[in-house]
A = this chain, B = another copy of it.
Amino acid sequence: MATVLLHADVEQIAFLLGTWQGEGEGEWPGSEPFRFREELVFENVGKAMLLYRQESWDLEDGSPMHFERGFFRPTGPGTIGVILAHQMGAVEVAEGTVAGTVIECASTSVGLMSTAPPITELRRRMEVSGGRLTYELQMGMRDIALTHHTRSRLEKL
Contact = CB atoms under 8 A, between A and B. Distances in A.
Q: Indicate how many identical chains form the complex.
A: 2
A111 B87 contact: no
Given A73-B87, A75-B114, A112-B93, A67 B81 contact: no
B111 A91 contact: yes
A135 interface: no
A72 B86 CA distance: 11
A53 B49 CA distance: 16
Which of A89, A109, A110 has the most B CB atoms < 10 Å from its CB? A89
A69 interface: yes
Nearest to A66: B47
A17 interface: no
A47 B70 contact: no
Contact of A91 (B67, B83, B95): B83
Given A89-B93, A91-B93, A93-B91, A115 B81 contact: yes
Given A49-B87, A64-B46, A92 B69 contact: no
A85 interface: yes
A83 B53 CA distance: 14
A113 B49 CA distance: 13
Interface of A: 45-47, 49, 51, 53, 55, 63-64, 67, 69-71, 73, 75, 81, 83-87, 89-93, 95, 108-115
7 contacts: A49-B87, A70-B85, A73-B89, A83-B111, A91-B109, A95-B113, A108-B113
